[in-house]
């Protein structure tokens, strides 16, 4: 179906007439979409060759325009040519968040191509405190919009539908007659309504019931609360055709819950303020396809490239940002490398994104792995609505659980056995039960596993 998304674009009944599109400045976007149709079907080796050439151009520019990047290259004993050679990138030590903050103004390029448009500055506080400031060009924004549009087209969304958006960056209730950019560059769209994620779950469910959306754009943790509330009250969203998530990890369990309660799938997009859309879920197979202008490496504790099925740290390179050299930036997330996708797209794949280091379990021998806690098995023992595990030290985990009733001592012992088995270590599990939902962290995020051990 989606192999001909670009052909379908031409036949889309909501596509604006050519003159109206031109008036809205969609020429560059239309051209880039046509390019993306070609690039996503390229054999992986050809795409890698073109990306290598783009990396060489980027490295030459940044070596001349960014004192900090020039010094990084020199310290590693590299030239732009050596960096862009096969396996060259792996010789450059990653750029940490701290190093980026410390670099200050010396990081930014003092010149950049006029054709890339004006500069905007974006600051993200992140979850670890110190804000990171990155400069981006209009070309970066344009790429972001093109990937967003392509994601809509891959998933064959009906632009005449009603879109509800729930995110942290909406400060108050807002309504609009259309979905806004980038969709309005090309399409006539249905109505839009937005709410801040800070509202209570009850308020959000009431609003969703009234607005009756076709599509929902939402943070996974907010989605989890809404799904639980809708399931509890038996209310449904009858028009709903799809859910799009971003910004946080989507668990397998949440995907199952959404399918069961709302009857639709979740299409996740891996994005950040610094990089825009880094990876998009395949419409046919669910694996994540990495955007063409992004190099996304996954490396193990020793810095070696992970193989398919292995989990490691994510390093990101933005091939179009000529204002800030984001080259091998350690974004702080973990991911599992995917295998080539059967859909035929040559874009590299990531099987899943796993969140941050503090969301990994720490074993007594010092190794960390992604915590599987066996939630799908708990139902055999006791009804549990929500959980949060806090690892206190290398032997002890506090399990905070929201449940309609307290379990017996025997049930608790059964749960402990399941959790120990799934975590692959006989941790001491301490329980804290409550009937109310578990509270969120600062910024409205919710983390199911938090490691406080060292």
- The contact set with Zn ion (CB under 5 A) reads 282, 285, 341, 343, 345
Residue 74 structure tokens: 């020199």
Distances (CA, A) of 392 to 123, 258, 333: 32, 31, 22
Q: Which is nearer to Zn ion, 343 or 381 (CB)?
A: 343
We find the least distance from the C-beta atom of residue 288 to Zn ion, in angstroms, to be 9
Q: Which is nearer to Zn ion, 295 or 341 (CB)?
A: 341
Phi, psi of 342 (to 5 degrees): -70, -5
CA dihedral sign, ordered 159, 160, 161, 164: positive
We find the least distance from the C-beta atom of residue 349 to Zn ion, in angstroms, to be 7
What 3-state DSSP class applies to 182?
coil
We find the least distance from the C-beta atom of residue 253 to Zn ion, in angstroms, to be 23
Least Cα distance to 289 among 349, 371, 364 occurs for 349
Q: Which is nearer to Zn ion, 205 or 282 (CB)?
A: 282
CA–CA gap between residue 92 and residue 326 (Å, rounded): 12
Q: Which is nearer to Zn ion, 261 or 347 (CB)?
A: 347
Q: Which is nearer to Zn ion, 341 or 419 (CB)?
A: 341
Measured between its terminal Cα atoms, the distance across the chain in Å is 49
We find the least distance from the C-beta atom of residue 309 to Zn ion, in angstroms, to be 17
CA–CA gap between residue 315 and residue 81 (Å, rounded): 20
CA dihedral sign, ordered 96, 98, 101, 102: negative
CA–CA gap between residue 353 and residue 307 (Å, rounded): 15
Determine contact, residues 15/175, Cβ cutoff 8 Å: no
We find the least distance from the C-beta atom of residue 294 to Zn ion, in angstroms, to be 16
We find the least distance from the C-beta atom of residue 43 to Zn ion, in angstroms, to be 14
We find the least distance from the C-beta atom of residue 29 to Zn ion, in angstroms, to be 23
We find the least distance from the C-beta atom of residue 346 to Zn ion, in angstroms, to be 10
CB burial readout 163-187, b (16+ within 10 A) else e: bbbbbeeeeeeeeeeebeebbbbbb
Least Cα distance to 97 among 137, 119, 121, 129 occurs for 129
We find the least distance from the C-beta atom of residue 2 to Zn ion, in angstroms, to be 9
We find the least distance from the C-beta atom of residue 285 to Zn ion, in angstroms, to be 5
Q: Which is nearer to Zn ion, 220 or 348 (CB)?
A: 348
Rg (Cα) of the chain, in Å, rounded? Answer: 23
In order, the DSSP letters of 366-390 are S-EEPPP--HHHHTTT----EEEEE
Sequence-ordered strand ranges (E) for 104-148: 119-124, 132-137
We find the least distance from the C-beta atom of residue 169 to Zn ion, in angstroms, to be 29
Determine contact, residues 191/160, Cβ cutoff 8 Å: no
CA–CA gap between residue 143 and residue 311 (Å, rounded): 28
Phi, psi of 9 (to 5 degrees): -55, -45
CA–CA gap between residue 184 and residue 180 (Å, rounded): 6
In the numeric block, the tokens 């599992």 are attached to: 336
In the numeric block, the tokens 């799938």 are attached to: 265
We find the least distance from the C-beta atom of residue 347 to Zn ion, in angstroms, to be 8
* Secondary structure letter of residue 107 according to DSSP: G
Helix ranges restricted to H, 400-440: 409-423
CA–CA gap between residue 202 and residue 209 (Å, rounded): 11
């Amino acid at each position: 179906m989606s192999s001909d998304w670009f052909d379908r674009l031409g036949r889309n009944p909501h596509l604006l007439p050519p003159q109206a599109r031109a008036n809205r400045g969609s020429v560059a976007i239309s051209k880039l979409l046509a390019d993306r149709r070609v690039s996503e079907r390229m054999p992986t080796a050809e795409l890698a060759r073109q990306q290598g050439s783009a990396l060489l151009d980027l490295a030459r520019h940044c070596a001349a325009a960014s004192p900090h990047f020039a010094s990084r290259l020199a310290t590693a004993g590299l030239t732009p040519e050596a960096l862009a050679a096969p396996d060259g990138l792996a010789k450059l030590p990653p750029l940490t968040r701290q190093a980026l903050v410390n670099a200050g103004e010396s990081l930014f390029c003092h010149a950049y191509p006029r054709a890339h448009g004006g500069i905007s500055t974006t600051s993200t506080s992140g979850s670890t405190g110190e804000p990171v400031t990155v400069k981006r060009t209009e070309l970066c924004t344009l790429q972001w919009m093109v990937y967003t549009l392509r994601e809509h087209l891959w998933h064959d969304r009906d632009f005449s539908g009603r879109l509800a958006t729930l995110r942290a960056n909406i400060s108050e209730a807002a309504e609009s007659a259309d979905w806004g950019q980038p969709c309005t560059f090309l399409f006539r769209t249905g109505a839009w309504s937005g709410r801040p994620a800070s509202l209570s779950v009850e308020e959000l469910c009431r609003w969703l019931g009234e607005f009756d959306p076709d599509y929902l754009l939402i943070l996974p943790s907010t989605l989890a609360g809404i799904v639980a509330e809708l399931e509890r009250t038996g209310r449904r969203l009858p028009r709903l055709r799809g859910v799009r998530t971003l910004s946080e990890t989507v668990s397998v369990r949440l995907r199952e819950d959404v399918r069961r309660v709302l009857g639709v799938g979740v299409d996740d997009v891996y994005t950040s303020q610094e990089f825009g859309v880094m990876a998009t879920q395949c419409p046919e197979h669910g694996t994540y396809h990495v955007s063409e202008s992004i190099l996304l490496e996954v490396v193990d504790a020793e810095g070696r490239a992970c193989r398919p099925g292995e989990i490691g740290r994510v390093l990101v390179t933005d091939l179009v940002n000529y204002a800030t050299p984001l080259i091998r930036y350690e974004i702080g997330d973990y991911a599992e490398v995917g295998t080539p996708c059967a859909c035929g797209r040559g874009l590299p794949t990531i099987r899943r994104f796993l969140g941050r280091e503090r969301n990994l379990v720490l074993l007594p021998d010092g190794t960390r792995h992604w915590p599987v806690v066996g939630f799908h098995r708990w139902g055999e023992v006791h009804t549990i609505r929500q959980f949060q595990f806090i690892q206190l030290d290398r032997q002890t985990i506090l399990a905070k659980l929201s449940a309609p009733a307290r379990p017996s001592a025997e049930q608790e012992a059964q749960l402990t056995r399941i959790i120990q088995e799934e975590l692959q270590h006989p941790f001491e599990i301490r329980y804290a039960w409550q009937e109310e939902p578990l509270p969120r962290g600062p910024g409205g995020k919710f983390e199911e596993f938090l490691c406080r051990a060292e």
